[in-house]
Amino acid sequence: MGSGQKRGGSKIYILYVSVMDLKKISLWLEEAGQPKFRLKQITDAVYKKGAATFDEITALPEPLRNAIKEKFRILAIEPETILESRAGDAVKGSFWLKDKQKIESVLLNLFPGKWSICVSTQVGCPVQCVFCATGRRGLKRNLSPDEIVSQYIFWANYLKKYRPGEKIGGVVYMGMGEPFLNYEAVAESLKVLTDPGLIGLGDRHISVSTVGHVPGIRRFAKDFPQVNLAVSLHAVDNELRSTLVPLNDKYPLDQISKALKDYIYTTKRKVFIEYVMLGGINDSQSCARRLTDWLKSVAAPKYFTVNIIPYNQTDREYKAPTKERVEAFSNLLLTLNTSATVRKSLGSDIAGACGQLAGK
Ligand code: SF4
């Protein structure tokens, strides 16, 4: 990877790699006559302690820090704006990529003192779910593994600076994009997140959310059986689901059902079902009944938790369900022996809630 940079009027070409390109850094350190432990000092500082610039890695001697930052950068993303919600429970970042594309990523405070990072995997999204602001943009390009992991490192660094002592509880792949349409990069980033020698997050602290990409579900079952799988279902009849999620035409409900049966058989893991609830469209009692029937046709209720996500306003024509409808839907699921939670909406005042990320 190469990129030109203007410095004091003359153009200097620097090697633009993130610290994830460890082989290149290792080679450079060797050529610079540095001892082997320097690489570990760098990886520990970045992956374990959230250093986002070489200046923060004070374990390195200053001349080395100055030399290395001329050649390498840690983050493959550049923050543009950082917005904090009024309640202080969500922070949204907009980031420039090196080709001037833009993405967004969110830090969410789901439990006291513990934050979740919601990462994006694509610039825009080709799936174009009708209620989603990201889908409106169509797909610009896939993110690289560096660009995905950089979102994690940026937020780890942010917490260290602005919320010292608070921890990252998990990472959710629920930002812009359909993760399984960028499978290779997502898989690489998961390896970095879970490698005990690098970031070392527990597999079960990570969730990957798909809209029902069947080949992706099948691959994921083999490659990452301990990482949580979330499936955005939203409806269990093909006609309605295809109007909400156009990918349903390619992978309709019977294929998703078979893939989930196989997933559960192979992994013995629970699946999280995401259900964006749209007022007057999929919030009725009969929708709740059909949802539980469909889930029971796939596997025993213990294998599912339904996360109801009341629609967050975007510039689309849909409206949020009433509080009463959400409650009635959730209560009926529980009565029918299906575990259900209602997702607390965080960050809607900064357009950082589910379905609102647009990267505009
Ligand atoms: S909801 Fe997810 S899959 Fe659907 S358009 Fe938005 S980002 Fe893409």
* Model confidence pLDDT, tens digit, residues 53-100: 999 999 999 999 999 998 898 999 999 999 999 888 999 999 999 899
pLDDT of residue 23: 81
The pLDDT of residue 15 is above 70: no
Q: Check residues 99 and 352 and name the one with the higher pLDDT.
A: 99
Residue 12 has pLDDT above 50, yes or no: no
The confidence score (pLDDT) of residue 196 equals 92
Ligand 1 center to 33 CA (angstroms): 48
Residue among 261, 297, 262, 287 nearest 340 (CA)? 287
Which protein residue's CA is at the shortest distance from atom 7 of ligand 1? 177
Distance 28 CA to ligand 1 centre (A): 40
Residues lining ligand 1, CB < 6 A? 125, 127-129, 132, 134-135, 176-178, 211, 355
Residue 359 reports pLDDT greater than 80: no
- In this predicted structure, which of 42-46, 230-234, 301-305, 346-350 has the lowest mean pLDDT? 346-350
Half-sphere exposure of 130 (CA within 13 A, CB side): 15
Select the more confidently predicted residue: 8 or 105.
105
Q: What is the pLDDT of residue 9?
A: 38
125-170 residue pLDDT tens: 999 998 888 877 789 999 999 999 999 999 999 999 999 999 999 9
CA–CA separation, 207 vs 277, rounded Å? 20
Give distance in angstroms: CA of 332 to centre of ligand 1: 27
Q: Is the pLDDT of residue 358 over 80?
A: no
Dihedral angle, C-alpha 172, 175, 180, 186, nearest 10 °: -60
Give the model's pLDDT for residue 352: 62
Return d(Cα 43, Cα 238) in angstroms, integer.
47
Nearest-atom index, ligand 1, CA of 125 = 8
Helices 145-162 and 183-194, axial angle in degrees (round to 10): 40
**pLDDT for res 355:** 64
Q: Residue 173 pLDDT more than 80?
A: yes
Beta carbons of 68 and 34 less than 8 angstroms apart: no
Q: Could you tell which of 106, 131, 132, 207 is best to mutate to test the pocket of ligand 1, judged by most ligand atoms within 8 Å of the CB? A: 132
Domains present along the chain, CATH in parentheses: 2-69 (1.10.150.530), 78-350 (3.20.20.70)
pLDDT at residue 4 in the model: 34
DSSP, collapsed to helix, strand or coil, labels residue 329 as: helix
Q: What pLDDT is stored for residue 21 in this prediction?
A: 75
Whose CA is closest to 147, among 73, 214, 208? 73
What is the Cα–Cα distance from 10 to 111, expressed in whole angstroms? 49
Mention every residue, 6+ apart, whose C-beta is less than 8 A from residue 163. Answer: 115
pLDDT tens-digit profile of 194-236? 999 999 999 999 999 999 999 999 999 999 999 999 999 999 9
Compute, in angstroms, the gap from residue 155 CA to the centroid of ligand 1. 22
Q: What is the mean pLDDT of the chain?
A: 90
Please check the confidence at residue 299 and state whether its pLDDT lies above 90: yes
**Contacts of 255 by beta carbon, 8 Å cutoff, 6+ apart:** 214
**CA-based R_g, the chain, Å:** 22
Residue 176, CA distances (Å) to 127, 207, 278, 357 in order: 11, 14, 20, 6
**Residue 74 and residue 54: Cα distance in Å, rounded?**
7
Give catalytic residue positions: 104, 354
What is 219-264 written as a DSSP string? HHHHH-TTSEEEEE---SSHHHHHHH-GGGGTS-HHHHHHHHHHHH
The closest of 244, 226, 185, 258 to 20, measured between CA atoms, is 185
pLDDT at 351 over 70: no
Comparing 54-63, 236-245, 347-356, which segment has the lowest mean pLDDT?
347-356
pTM above 0.95, yes or no: no
Place 10 in a pLDDT band, splitting at 50, 70 and 90: very low
User: What pLDDT is recorded for position 112?
Assistant: 85
List strands edge to edge, sheet with 114-118. Answer: 78-84, 90-96, 102-111, 114-118, 167-173, 206-210, 228-232, 271-277, 304-310, 339-342
CA-closest residue to ligand 1 atom 4: 129
- Burial label for 37, CB within 10 Å (0-12, 13-18, 19+), is exposed
Question: Taking residues 92-112, what's their average pLDDT?
Answer: 92
Q: How many CA atoms lie within 13 A of 312 on its CB side?
A: 21
